[in-house]
């Protein structure tokens, strides 16, 4: 180790603990402000499985009542927002695919808005696209199928994957002349396995029909060594407005009455069973519990419960 003279140290930019340097220099931090943020992945164990949620995009939006409380009064919408410490005139949306590594296969539930966003989160989580064995699509909205194809629009992002989706959902969009479906899903048809309510894309994972948001929207129960988790996709699209008031109509729900009935049924089951769930649009990391309360449900974000799984 070399000993530096004070002159050399100053020249090398090393701070010297001398009063003079404080007196003659303004107290500025050397580190620039970085902007807010957090890691785009969160991983926990579920029995013998590993579950990773991936934040592939997030964006702010205004006038949330027009999306999440179409049939609410402005007074009720404002009151529930205030009671939950969120503004009534702004919201933040999250897009959160889930990876499940069963030990035998790596399964990705939904693919995000774009390949770019999803690959960035995967890379941060230490996963490469070619490691994904199965892609499960809960439904065919653009924020769930947007990552299927790469930037050129024609090269599948997950080169080694097979695909699983609900037959009702696929049939619906096949006849809908939908640009996103035609571009991203249709070219993969030969690699898709179609399942129905109660079907299983692979051992330990079971599909449940949860229609309303789209005609064939499906959710998934994941179970390993007696531990259970629900992947609820877009059954509820906001952690306060859609859970506390499941009857509030959501602009993105194709059949609003069916979506409300499905919300109450699915979250009633999750509340009764006290199992964790992952919601695609819940605040990241998107994992929590619900308790039945009044006409809806109280969302309890997961804290350390799943860390205790080891
Ligand atoms: Zn969605």
Is the per-residue pLDDT at 19 higher than 50?
no
Identify residues whose C-beta is under 5 A from ligand 1, the ion: 143, 234
Q: How many CB atoms lie within 10 A of CB 295?
A: 10
Q: How far is the CA of 282 from the centre of ligand 1 (A)?
A: 10
Do 38 and 48 contact (CB within 8 A), yes or no?
no
Q: How far is the CA of 59 from the centre of ligand 1 (A)?
A: 13
Q: How far is the CA of 19 from the centre of ligand 1 (A)?
A: 58
Q: Which two tokens stand for residue 302?
A: 């997961």
Q: How far is the CA of 213 from the centre of ligand 1 (A)?
A: 9
Separation of alpha carbons 167 and 234, rounded Å = 18
Q: How far is the CA of 143 from the centre of ligand 1 (A)?
A: 5
Is the per-residue pLDDT at 7 higher than 60?
no
What is residue 44's predicted lDDT score, i.e. its pLDDT?
97
Strand (E) or helix (H) holding 271? helix 256-273
**How confident is residue 2, by pLDDT bands cut at 50, 70 and 90?**
very low
Place of tokens 């309303």: 212
**How confident is residue 1, by pLDDT bands cut at 50, 70 and 90?**
very low
Q: Which residue has the higher pLDDT, 32 or 145?
A: 145
The torsion of the CA quartet 298, 299, 301, 306, rounded to 10 degrees, works out to: 90
Convert the pLDDT of each residue in 132-184 to its tens digit: 999 999 999 999 999 999 999 999 999 999 999 999 999 999 998 899 999 99
What is residue 38's predicted lDDT score, i.e. its pLDDT?
87
Burial of 21 (0-12, 13-18, 19+ CB in 10 A): exposed
Convert the pLDDT of each residue in 204-244 to its tens digit: 999 999 999 999 999 999 999 999 999 999 999 999 999 99
Q: How far is the CA of 162 from the centre of ligand 1 (A)?
A: 22
The DSSP 8-state label assigned to residue 282 in this structure reads: S
Out of 1-15, 168-182, 262-276, 280-294, pick the least confident: 1-15
Separation of alpha carbons 191 and 199, rounded Å = 17
Q: How far is the CA of 17 from the centre of ligand 1 (A)?
A: 55
Convert the pLDDT of each residue in 60-83 to its tens digit: 999 999 999 999 999 999 999 999
Q: How far is the CA of 141 from the centre of ligand 1 (A)?
A: 6
**How confident is residue 95, by pLDDT bands cut at 50, 70 and 90?**
very high
Q: Write down the mean pLDDT value for the chain.
A: 93
What is residue 16's predicted lDDT score, i.e. its pLDDT?
46
Residues paired with residue 44 on neighbouring β-strands, in sequence order: 51
**How confident is residue 273, by pLDDT bands cut at 50, 70 and 90?**
very high
């Amino acid at each position: 180790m070399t000993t530096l003279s004070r002159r050399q140290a100053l020249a090398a930019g090393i701070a010297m603990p001398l009063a003079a340097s404080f007196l003659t220099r303004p107290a500025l931090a050397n580190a620039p402000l970085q902007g807010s943020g957090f890691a785009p992945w969160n991983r926990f164990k579920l029995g013998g499985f590993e579950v990773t949620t991936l934040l592939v995009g997030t964006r702010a939006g205004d006038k949330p009542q027009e999306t999440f409380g179409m049939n609410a009064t402005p007074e009720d919408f404002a009151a529930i927002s205030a009671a939950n410490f969120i503004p009534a005139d702004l919201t933040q949306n999250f897009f959160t695919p889930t990876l499940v590594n069963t030990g035998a296969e790596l399964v990705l539930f939904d693919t995000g808005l774009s390949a770019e966003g999803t690959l960035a989160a995967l890379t941060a989580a230490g996963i490469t696209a070619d490691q994904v064995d199965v892609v499960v699509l809960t439904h065919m909205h653009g924020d769930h199928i947007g990552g299927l194809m790469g930037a050129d629009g024609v090269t599948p992002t997950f080169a080694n994957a097979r695909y699983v989706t609900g037959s009702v959902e696929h049939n619906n969009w096949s006849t809908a002349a939908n640009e996103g479906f035609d571009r991203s899903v249709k070219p993969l048809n030969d690699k898709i396995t179609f399942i129905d309510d109660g079907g299983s894309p692979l051992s330990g994972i079971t599909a449940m029909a949860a229609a309303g948001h789209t005609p064939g929207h499906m959710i998934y129960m994941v179970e390993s060594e007696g531990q259970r988790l629900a992947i609820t996709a877009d059954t509820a699209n906001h952690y306060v407005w859609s859970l506390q008031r499941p009857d509030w109509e959501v602009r993105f729900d194709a059949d609003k009455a069916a979506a409300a009935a499905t919300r109450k049924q699915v979250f009633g089951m999750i509340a009764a069973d006290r199992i964790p769930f992952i919601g695609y649009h819940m605040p990241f990391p998107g994992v929590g519990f619900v308790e039945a309360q009044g006409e809806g449900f109280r969302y309890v974000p997961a804290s350390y419960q799943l860390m205790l799984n080891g």
